[in-house]
Structure 1
Amino acid sequence: MDTLAQLRAGLLAGATRLDLAAGLTQFPREILDLADTLEVLNLSGNALSSLPDDFHRLRRLRVLFCDRNQFTELPACLGQCPALSMVGFKGNRIETVPGAALPPLLRWLILTDNRVTELPTELGERPFLQKLMLAGNRLTQLPPSLRNCHRLELTRLAANRLSELPDWLLTLPSLTWLAYAGNPLETEADATALDATPTIAWSQLSLGEKLGEGASGVIHRAEWQHAKAVAIKLYKGEMTSDGSPLHEMNACITAGLHPNLIRVEGRIVEHPQHQAGLVMELVDPSYRNLAGLPSLESCSRDVYADDTRFNADVALRIARGIASVGEHLHRQGITHGDLYGHNILLNEHGDCLLGDFGAASFHATDDSFESRALQRIEVRAFGVLLGELLERIDSGLSDHTHERLEDLQRRCCQGDVLARPGFSEIVLELGGF
């Protein structure tokens, strides 16, 4: 019996989560019978265009996913849901976002890949807003009221029509992860990088096992000219929550060489399906992810395994490596936009590689207010990471050194954006430990 049949037969009473993809064109009223228990509702992959006016009867509902449906407007009924904090409508046809559609406890809003041209003033009146995903829309400006969202940490604005980033956005005290590639405002200082990068014909590659898959592409092991083991990333060409995969490829190439980056050997040409791709060095299998992706509960913060512990030497090696690569990227006019533990590969010695340029953006390399602010926003991401490392050091750190590192962490995360140190200063300071 499928899930819809179980629901209609009353067999799901007491459920706290419901995932229902059954080609729905109308909302099944039986879902409202779960009002006393339902907390997570996933209606992605249907053909819905509306929700019932009494949807707010789901008084315990915290999370709603309605990705890949046919909504043209964010349903106003959501604003009456007393517990709803996460709202996801990725890949619909949404043009209008009424202020009344924003629930009072809104913490995480996903409107990626829609047709939104304007956001309501009420968005800035949601004090718990922490994560805002708006890539792939038609926005020309942001509501000034967003300046009041002092808890906002992650914002995705890529692939819109923004001609500038407002000063108030760049001085939000908690903003940490920002992506804005593919807007008219972006300064792609090395937009010719694709042309300057060596090309590798698809016929020179022998495809091997699949190593992993992300939102932007699939990574395979491959043999290059039957002589060298490499990794290849084939881009999907679809809009992701971070932005366009082709912008990711450009940033990855422009980043250049650094010991804490995965080396790009060249870009793939002559693919039979004209798929874009990169050939990269094959990372040694001893490397693993530092952390796991944020969860629904942690929202913008990584999830670490309970047994993740380090000695001081390993933790400091990680911190120095990531600070160094941050300094390198900023000198190239690139912000990574997703500087997180889950995007860091490391081995047991603390050797580490920063990957995943899906949220990377370009900025001018001059010493302007905007460039400094964009770089210091990313410094806050490093401060969060440093704090996570410090929490997991179990040996080898004196009280005095711990206090000094905690002070550095606090300065990286302070609310006054321009008062934070730059990566050059951080690299020098970490070199003294």
Structure 2
Amino acid sequence: MSLSALRRGDLAGARVLQINEDLTEFPDEIFGLADTLEMLDLAGNRLTSLPADFGRLHRLRTFFGSGNRFAVLPPALGNCPSLSQIGCRNAGITQVPGESLPPGLRWLTLTDNAIATLPDALGERRNLQKLLLSGNRLSALPGSLQAADNLELLRISANAFTTWPGCVTSLPRLAWLAMAGNPFNPPPPPRATHRLISWSGLTSEAVLGQGASGIVHRMTWQDEQRAVAVKLFKGRMTSDGAAMDEMAAMLAIGQHPNLTSPLGAVSEHPDGVEGLVMPLLPDGWRPLAGPPSFETCSRDVYDPGMQLDRATALRLVRGIAEATQHLHAKGLIHGDLYAHNILWDGARGAAVLSDLGAAGFYPRGADAAALQRIETRAWGILAEEVAGRCPEGFQALQSLAERCQHPRPQARPLMGDVCAELARL
């Protein structure tokens, strides 16, 4: 898509519009799509504001403005009656006026800005499900957020919190929490306690995958004469937090059969890149599901034809429960316990929990059990999704999943109790 095509009228009736042409002013021609436009992506331009009548885009549901130069999150966004998702990463934002938050706000991403305070209006947006604030200057959350009863995912990593905002543990639907890289976090274990694997002893073969925090390579570890997976970190801020906090968490987890436990840390990389060496999973292993879509917001997307027998389902969720309990015993919250972060064999239910990008150590002053019960809810959602893919039904697992999602967090079991009940099943 291009601005010239828009001006020629070639995009009449478009529902989605993306323009990345170093814009410094908002093109008025976009208003010609007011009766159809649902997603507007103006990321990567040089805009400093949006027009006051931006609300004319009355069907707009999603706005992306990352990489622009908004010192202030544009107040005009709040005038859009249908707008539910806003993404403005790394846009130079220092202020978030209450009026910039549309009434139907469901998903707000303000990662990697310079925001020090948030308005009380944030907690008044009752549809709010996902709030991503990593990489800012926040030292407190607005008190109104205690009323955010639908909030399920919260990212506050790499901010300036000196004390733990304990109000978040009482949120009835919170399941995915990232909190690393704040002053309230304890220091990670010293690097010297971990095995160092020289880069010169690793031979690259292929790229296995790439994410926001790094690139995973298939390599040969010459000293051991074995194929391994090596993750090289980009060192950038992600929506989950800082890449180095992910590395610290992974080096602390130790060994567990249901975790992608590292064998050691890369040393002596010629460019000073940090990395981890991990066991290579068997060919054919794949994610259990795809990540949430714009429509599902906080729920993963499964293959609609996926079916599991009870034995496979039980083995799968039990392995992930045991991995989660292991992390909790190490003083860690995974923060992103989702099916799309579970790799499995696609047949018998063998599985590992991966991607510790949102993981964090228990903060000083936090109630460890309360934090663990947030993750109990995440496991409960996973178990419910898995049980729902058993054609013959799995009422015992379904019942456990429901108890793990109890709206009163204190009523949820800890993961040790969950594992004990799964063993009885």
TM-score interval, smaller chain: over 0.9
Query: Which residue is equivalent to 2:185?
Result: 186
**In structure 2, what residue type is equivalent to 1:306?**
P
The amino acid that maps onto 1:39 is: E
Q: d(CA) in 1 for partners of 2:63 and 2:102?
A: 12
8 Å Cα contact 2:129-2:150 kept in structure 1: yes
| Corresponding position of 1:20 | 19
Q: Give structure 1 regions of 4+ aligned residues with deviation exceeding 6 angstroms.
A: none
Could you tell me whether the CA contact under 8 Å between 1:375 and 1:422 is conserved in 2? yes
Distance in 2 separating the partners of 1:369 and 1:134: 20
Question: Are 1:64 and 2:56 counterparts?
Answer: no
Aligned to 2:207: 210
Tell me the SS of whatever aligns to 2:300. Answer: coil
**Structure 1 residue 193, shift from structure 2 partner:** 4.4
What SS does structure 1 have at the residue aligned with 2:131? strand
- Tell me which residue corresponds to 2:378: 381
- Conservation of the 8 A alpha-carbon contact between 1:132 and 1:154: yes
Determine helix, strand or coil for the equivalent of 1:264.
Answer: coil
Q: Structure 1 residues 419, 187: CA separation in 2 closer, same or farther (over 3 Å shift)?
A: farther
**1:330 and 2:328 equivalent?**
yes
Map 1:102-113 → 2, pairs under 5 A: 102-113=101-112
Match of 1:301 among 276, 280, 299: 299
Per the alignment, in what secondary structure is the counterpart of residue 208 of structure 1? strand
Distance in 2 of aligned mates of 1:404 and 1:313: 12
- CA deviation vs aligned residue, 1:236-290 (integer Å, no higher than 9, x gap): 1010000001000110110110010123111111111111111111111121110
Please give the residue correspondences for 1:348-363 in structure 2 after superposition, counting only pairs within 5 Å: 348-363=347-362
TM-score, length-scaled by structure 2? 0.97
Q: Does 1:427 align with 2:424?
A: no
Output the CA distance in 2 between the equivalents of 1:308 and 1:44. 36
Counterpart in the other structure of 1:244: 242
- Preserved CA contact (<8 Å) 2:73 2:100: yes
1:54 maps to what in 2?
53
Equivalent residue runs for 1:26-175 within 5 Å: 26-175=25-174
CA positional deviation for 1:369 = 6.6
Alpha-carbon deviations, 1:152-199, whole Å to 9, x = none? 0000000000122333211100000000000011234xx124221111
Superposed, which structure 2 residues align to 1:304-323 within 5 Å? Answer: 304-323=302-321
When structure 1 is superposed on structure 2, of 206-215 and 112-121 the one drifting more is 206-215
What letter matches 2:43 in structure 1?
Answer: S
Evaluate the alpha carbon distance shift between residue 270 and residue 393 of structure 1 in structure 2; reply closer, same or farther with a 3 A threshold.
same
Q: 2:400 aligns with which of 384, 408, 428?
A: 408
1:315-337 Cα offsets, whole Å, 9 max, x none, are 00011101101111000000000
How many Å separate the matches in 1 of 2:332 and 2:113?
Answer: 26
Deviation at 1:224, TM superposition (A): 1.2
Q: CA deviation at 1:211?
A: 0.4
Q: What secondary structure does 2:263 align onto?
A: strand
String of CA shifts for 1:405-424, please: whole Å, max 9, x gaps.
22211110001111100011
The counterpart of 2:342, out of the listed 341, 344, 348, is: 344
Is the 1:193–1:253 Cα contact (8 Å) retained in structure 2? Answer: no
Q: Could you tell me which residue of structure 1 aligns to residue 290 of structure 2?
A: 292
Quick check: 1:267 aligned with 2:303? no
How big is the shift at 1:49?
1.1
Letter in 1 for 2:270: P
Quote the Cα distance in structure 2 between the aligned partners of 1:91 and 1:140.
19
In terms of mean alpha carbon deviation, does 239-248 or 402-411 score higher? 402-411
**1 CA distance for matches of 2:244 and 2:68?**
25
Q: 1:372 aligns with which of 360, 369, 375?
A: 369
Rounded to whole Å, the distance in 1 between the matches of 2:182 and 2:166 is: 16
**What is the CA–CA distance in structure 2 between the aligned matches of 1:28 and 1:330, rounded to whole Å?**
51
Deviation at 1:364, TM superposition (A): 6.2
Measured after TM superposition, the shift of residue 88 of structure 1 is 0.5
Q: Distance in 2 between matches of 1:364 and 1:145?
A: 22
Counterparts of 1:35 and 1:324 in 2: how far apart (Å)? 51
User: Unaligned stretches of 5+ in structure 2?
Assistant: none
- Find the aligned partners of 1:146 and 1:18 in 2 and give their Cα distance: 33
Contact 2:250 2:261 survives alignment (8 Å): no
The 1-side partners of 2:130 and 2:260 are apart by 28
**Contact 1:193–1:254 (Cα < 8 Å) also in 2:** no
Question: For the residues of structure 2 that align with 1:288 and 1:142, how far apart are their CA atoms?
Answer: 37
Query: What runs of 5+ residues in structure 1 fail to find an aligned partner?
Result: none
TM-score where L is the length of structure 1: 0.96
SS at match of 1:31: helix
- Contact conserved, 1:51 with 1:77, CA < 8 A, in 2? yes
Q: Which amino acid is 2:226 matched to?
A: K
Letter in 2 for 1:62: R
Verify the 8 A CA contact 2:108 2:131 in the aligned structure 1: yes
Report if the CA contact (8 A) 1:231-1:282 is conserved: yes
Q: Which amino acid aligns with 1:308?
A: M
Kindly tell me the number of residue pairs found equivalent between the two proteins: 423
Task: Tell me the SS of whatever aligns to 2:391.
Answer: strand
Q: In the alignment, residue 280 of structure 1 is paired with which amino acid?
A: M
Q: Deviations over 1:1-51 (max 9, x none)?
A: x61110111111100000111111111111111000000001111111111
- Per-residue CA deviations over 1:88-118 (Å, capped at 9, x if unaligned) read 1001110000001000000000000000000
Match of 2:7 in 1: 8
- Secondary structure of residue in 2 paired with 1:415: coil
Counterpart of 2:423, as a letter, is G
Q: Tell whether the 8 Å contact from 1:193 to 1:250 is kept in structure 2 after alignment.
A: no
Offset of residue 403 of structure 1: 3.0
Q: What pairs with 1:220-259 in structure 2 (closer than 5 Å)?
A: 220-225=217-222, 227-259=225-257
